Amino acid sequence: MTQTYMPHVTIPPLDPPERLLMGPGPSNPDPRVLAAMSKRLVGHLDPYFVELMDQAMGALREVYRTASHHTLPISATGSGGLEAIMMNLLEPGDGAVVCITGYFGQRLAELATRAGADVRVVEVPPGEIVDPAEVERLLEAKPAKLVAFVHLETTTGACQPIEPMVAVARRHGALTVMDCVTSLGGMPIEIDALGVDAAGSCTQKCLGAPPGLAPITVSPRAMERVKARKQKPHTWYFDFQLLFQYWGETGATKKRAFHHTAPISSIYGIHEAARLIVEEGLEARWARHQEAHETLVRGLNALGFQLFTPASHRAPTINVVSVPAGLDEAKVRSRLLEMGIEMGGGLGALTGKVWRVGVMGHNAQPERVDRFLGALGEAARAEGWRP
Amino acid sequence: MTQTYMPHVTIPPLDPPERLLMGPGPSNPDPRVLAAMSKRLVGHLDPYFVELMDQAMGALREVYRTASHHTLPISATGSGGLEAIMMNLLEPGDGAVVCITGYFGQRLAELATRAGADVRVVEVPPGEIVDPAEVERLLEAKPAKLVAFVHLETTTGACQPIEPMVAVARRHGALTVMDCVTSLGGMPIEIDALGVDAAGSCTQKCLGAPPGLAPITVSPRAMERVKARKQKPHTWYFDFQLLFQYWGETGATKKRAFHHTAPISSIYGIHEAARLIVEEGLEARWARHQEAHETLVRGLNALGFQLFTPASHRAPTINVVSVPAGLDEAKVRSRLLEMGIEMGGGLGALTGKVWRVGVMGHNAQPERVDRFLGALGEAARAEGWRP
């Protein structure tokens, strides 16, 4: 196992190709957001930056439609935020019911298991959603501290209605945890009105910033449970109580307790992305995503393709397309990439069977969808596709 | 606890003031690095990005002077990388000996404790370093899986010599874990030659990129221990085995297993920062930091200030300055900030007693040090300082 360093490397200059990112994320940010990422740095304790943190928190409260102070961008990518939620809300031995509609539901179950919880799952085939009555049966048999579900499962396109799930959890005294990685900013989510207790998302999909942060929100009810923990969470980096001391507690003075150095440039990015969202207005943004989705589906149908996800639980932001028998899906994706356009393949059980097309953030625009459709038709025909 | 969202926010445009960042970090990146942060995005599974990941890993091996494939930027800030190391190397009940020379040593002990380890500490007063013989006494009394220490303690400026610590750990079959957050890239560190098993740093100090990533390196010997774990780590986000499947295992094909979406813009930044380091050459960079440090110390002495840290264990990159009795240190720092220059105050036991001046990365240049010295003299005199 002994090995020795030998100097050798030359690193080519950075020169990323131009891509239209129509996969499951990242999407292309608005140029204003990319420009924000390279603004000059200030210190993470600078009065200017402390104000910026407050502004970013305020902006994320707008995006989540919540008054909860406990709303901030975790210094990690989307999955880190969901890990943070699970590790803070769950103590070893706590019960958790997790809904699995695909890969990302499985991940929620994995996160809860690693946090030491006693995890029970409700799992459905790809494309389907969970019947809240199934969750209720589990909760009747044995209570749980929380019910976790994925709002919009990125691997199958299935969108789980939020309200019935919250209602079931509430009836049994459980908190609700929602993964809204693929939906936040692209379709209606109103955390306070819905009564969700904790939600986690990412920056690189419908919020329109580069990947690198995990915007989360935690209700006062859920924070009470965090504060009542019997033992500290295993994680120090994601410890909510330390994080909120750093980001400023409700009613506290501006004095902050150092925790970690915030990723300043990424905060610049989400700050600018959130400004764009507030400028546009959430309703207008949701409508724009819906229109882009409808344009996309009409175009896909005209090309002879069908969506994999049943119409009853589709969502605009991620579109999962069935690959027709006989068509080499990977070759079509390669051709598309050569034309400068990325779309996603299937993940897990759907590998090789579907494409995943995102209309997210800045890319939810008719001209971008049209360019995608034109190129997809060309690539598919070149692989022999005749509808 | 009921609360309801009320729309209200207007977010001012991003307009960070110009700052010369001479505190304990972040430092000002080279403009080339800031420009890299805003380059157009590609997908995280794009062939171009996969190549870039390999290049970034190669570049970090150069910076660490190691041949270990297990060298990568963790998708979190510096403290996240150290948490990742502790959570992967330690299982509940494992023994750990942690050296505490200040706040960041305490943090290592906290990370190890939260990972479930049986932690014993050797603690010394601020400014002092740990005698490896003390560590040896603990290991003789009871073996430990690892010995952890901070190379350069950011709160006190005390630099712990690496070789004697590794020698003691090796004699007793323990792994060594090193926090080199404030030293990597600014002073000699050669991981393979020194035999350190795991080290973690940040991007925003001597590497000269914005904060947001945690470059770590793990020796093959340490990875064997990770692979031999009896149970999975509590963390999924920082799980080394999953991370290295995503970043590519040794000898594996280019096929990667999706884990999380890498923070693409931050990887652009560290890629460019590492290119600058390789262009300059590590020896030249270390010498530049040493020269800047000497210029700084001469200037501080001429102003009548003395370093807090004993000369025998100072390091160039972080300079901890004793605040003379009667001088209001916070007011001097505020005046300096009004002049566009940031320096750090004391943390923990040294709050109010010291300043912390970083000469790190792009800022380790005579003209920047001179500007700092001129302004510090002016600010201190305005507060009544007469040497």
Instruction: Give the distance from CA B39 to its chain's centroid.
Output: 25
Give the nearest partner residue to B79 out of A80, A83, A237, using CB atoms. Answer: A237
Tell me the three state secondary structure of residue B178.
strand
Number of helices (H) and strands (E) in chain A: give both, helices first. Answer: 13, 12
Give domain limits for chain A.
20-26+283-382, 31-278
Reply yes or no on whether the pLDDT at A357 is more than 60: yes
The residues, ordered by sequence, that sit 6+ positions from A125 with a Cβ below 8 Å of its Cβ are: none
Residue A360 identity (one-letter amino acid): M
Q: For helices A240-247 and A220-227, give the axis angle rounded to 10 degrees.
A: 120
Q: What is the DSSP string of A163-224?
A: HHHHHHHHHTT-EEEEE-TTTBTTB---HHHHT-SEEE--SSSTT-S-S--EEEEE-HHHHH
Instruction: Tell me how crowded residue A324 is: count the other CB atoms within 10 A of its CB.
Output: 14
Question: Please, what is the average pLDDT of chain A?
Answer: 96
Residue of B nearest to A82 (CA): B237
d(CA B130, CA A264) in angstroms, rounded, equals 34
Asked if pLDDT for residue A382 goes beyond 50, the answer is yes
CB B236 within 8 A of CB A113: no
Greatest distance between any 2 Cα atoms in chain B: 66
Contact A58 B224 (CB under 8 A): no
Amino acid symbol at B287: A
Q: Which residue has the tokens 């813009």?
A: B265
- Dist CA B122 CA B108 (whole Å): 12
Q: Which two tokens mark A116?
A: 């030491």
Of A133, A23, A15, A148, nearest to A89 by C-alpha is A148
pLDDT at B251: 56
**pLDDT number for residue B236:** 98
Cα of A75 to nearest chain B Cα, Å: 6
In the block, tokens 């001179």 appear at B370
Cα–Cα distance measured from residue A77 to residue A82, given in angstroms and rounded to the nearest whole number: 9
Average pLDDT of span A93-115: 98
H, E, C per residue of A259-326: CCCCCHHHHHHHHHHHHHHHHHCHHHHHHHHHHHHHHHHHHHHHCCCCECCCHHHCCCCEEEEECCCC
Residue of A nearest to B18 (CA): A40
Per-residue pLDDT at A3 exceeds 90: no
Cβ atoms within 10 Å of B170's Cβ, excluding its own: 14
C-alpha span between A41 and B28 (Å, rounded):
7
pTM for the model stands at 0.97
A69-97 pLDDT, tens per residue? 999 999 999 999 999 999 999 999 999 99
Task: For residue B263, list chain A residues with Cβ-Cβ distance below 8 A.
Answer: 77, 210-212, 266
Reported confidence tier of residue A295, pLDDT bands at 50, 70, 90 = very high
Judged by CB atoms closer than 8 Å, whether chains meet at B5 and A35 is answered as no
List CB contacts of B354: < 8 A, sequence separation 6 or more.
B308, B320, B321, B322, B323, B329, B345, B346
Q: What is the pLDDT of residue A249?
A: 76
pLDDT computed for residue B256 by the predictor: 78
Sheet with B344-345, side-by-side order of all strands: B318-322, B354-358, B344-345
Give me the architecture of the A20-26+283-382 domain, per CATH: Alpha-Beta Complex (3.90)
The predicted structure's pLDDT at residue A254: 55
Name the minimum distance, in Å, from the CA of B141 to any CA of chain A. Answer: 27
A236 with B79: Cβ contact below 8 A: yes
List CB contacts of A85: < 8 A, sequence separation 6 or more: A177, A198, A200, A216, A218
3-state secondary structure of A128: coil
Query: Minimal Cα–Cα distance from A302 to chain B, Å?
Result: 27
Considering only CA atoms, which of A262, A202, A249, A330 is closest in space to residue A42? A262
Mutation pick from A235, A239, A277, A356 vs chain B, by most beta carbons of B within 10 Å, is: A235
| Identity of the residue in B191, B193, B265 whose CB atom sits nearest the CB atom of A212 | B265
Nearest CA in chain A to B34: A38
What's the angle, vertex CA A382, arms to CA A380 and CA A384, rounded to 5? 75
Q: What is the pLDDT of residues B81-137, one digit of tens each?
A: 999 999 999 999 999 999 999 999 999 999 999 999 999 999 999 999 999 999 999
Q: B59 vs A190, B117, B243, CA distance in Å? A: 44, 33, 18
Question: Which positions in chain B touch A190 (Cβ < 8 Å)?
Answer: 5
Pairwise CA distance, residues A266 & A211, whole Å: 8
Of B48, B52, B110, the CB nearest to A236: B110
For chain B, residues with pLDDT lower than 70 are 1-3, 6-8, 250-255
Burial of A18 (0-12, 13-18, 19+ CB in 10 A): exposed
- pLDDT value for B1: 43
H or E segment and range at residue A140: helix A132-141
- Across the interface, which of A42, A83, A191 has its CB nearest the CB of B16? A42
Contact list in A for residue B68 (CB cut-off 8 A) is: 3
Nearest CA in chain B to A17: B42
pLDDT digits (tens, 9 = 90+) for A337-355: 999 999 999 998 899 999 9
CA distance A101 to A233: 28
CB atoms within 10 A of CB B14: 17
Give pairs for A333-339: CB < 8 Å, separation 24+: A333/A379, A335/A378, A335/A379, A335/A382, A335/A383, A336/A375, A336/A376, A336/A379, A337/A19, A337/B46, A337/B47, A339/A375, A339/A378, A339/A379
- For residue A285, which residues of chain B lie inside 8 Å, CB to CB? none
**Among A1, A38, A64, A87, which would you mutate to test the B interface (most chain B Cβ atoms within 10 Å of its Cβ)?**
A38
CB A135 within 8 A of CB A168: yes
The distance of A317 to chain B (nearest Cα, Å) reads 17
Do A281 and A181 contact (CB within 8 A), yes or no? no
The answer to whether the CB atoms of A87 and B234 lie below 8 A apart is: yes
CB contacts of B46 in chain A (<8 Å) are 17, 19, 337, 342
Residues B268-277: b if buried by 16+ CB within 10 A, e if exposed: bbbbbbbbbb
Nearest CB to B347; choose among A34, A258, A347: A258
What would the two tokens of residue B181 be? 């957050």
For residue A331, what are its two tokens? 């070759």
Q: In degrees, to the nearest 5, what angle opens at C-alpha B191 toward C-alphas B188 and B196?
A: 120
The alpha carbon of residue B209 is apart from the nearest alpha carbon of chain A, in Å, by 10
A211 and B78: CB-CB below 8 Å?
A: no
Q: What is the DSSP letter of A97?
A: E
pLDDT at residue A1 greater than cutoff 60: no
Q: Does residue A114 carry a pLDDT above 80?
A: yes
Cα gap B265→B42, rounded to integer Å: 9
Q: Rounded distance, CA B227 to CA B212, Å?
A: 27
> B20-26+282-382, what's its fold?
Aspartate Aminotransferase, domain 1 (3.90.1150)
SS3 B292: helix
Quick one: what percent of chain A has pLDDT higher than 70? Answer: 97
B31-278: in CATH 3.40.50.720: no
Instruction: Answer whether B232 sits within 8 Å of A76, measured CB to CB.
Output: no
Report the DSSP pairing between strands A214-218 and B146-150. Answer: unpaired
Residues A11/B60, Cβ–Cβ less than 8 Å: no
Residues with Cβ within 8 Å of B25's Cβ and at least 6 positions away in sequence, in order, are A261, B154, B182, B202, B204, B205, B211, B358, B360
Nearest CB neighbour to A114, from listed B25, B115, B234: B234
- Please tell me the distance from the alpha carbon of residue B69 to that of residue B356, in angstroms, as a whole number: 35
- The DSSP H or E segment spanning B280 is helix B264-280
Task: Give the residue on B whose Cα is nearest the Cα of A347.
Answer: B258
- Rounded CA-CA distance A180/A188 in Å is 11
Beta bridge mates, B200: B179, B216
Report whether pLDDT(A2) > 60.
no
Residues of A with Cβ-Cβ distance to B242 under 8 angstroms: none
Distance CA B380, CA B385 (A): 5
Whether the pLDDT of residue A48 is over 80: the answer is yes
Q: Which residue among B61, B236, B260 places its CB closest to the CB of A77?
A: B260
Q: With CA atoms as reference, report the closest residue to B239 among B86, B57, B16, B61.
A: B86
Mean pLDDT, residues A252-256: 62
Lowest-pLDDT range of A4-8, A156-160, A341-345: A4-8
Among B34, B67, B78, the residue with its CB nearest the CB of A6 is: B67
CB-CB under 8 Å, A9 with B61: yes
Q: b vs e for A344-364, b when ≥16 Cβ sit within 10 Å of the residue's Cβ?
A: bbbbeebeebbbbbbbbbbbb
Interface test with chain B among A155, A216, A265, by most B beta carbons within 10 Å? A265
CA-based nearest residue in chain B for residue A202: B261
Q: What is the pLDDT of residue B10?
A: 83
Q: Which of A6, A34, A190 sits opposite B38 (nearest CB)?
A: A34
Q: Using the predicted structure, report yes or no on whether residue A253 has a pLDDT greater than 90.
A: no
Query: Cis before residue B26, ω within 30 degrees of 0?
Result: yes
Of A252, A211, A270, give the one whose Cα is nearest residue A70.
Answer: A252
CB contacts of B259 in chain A (<8 Å) are: 79
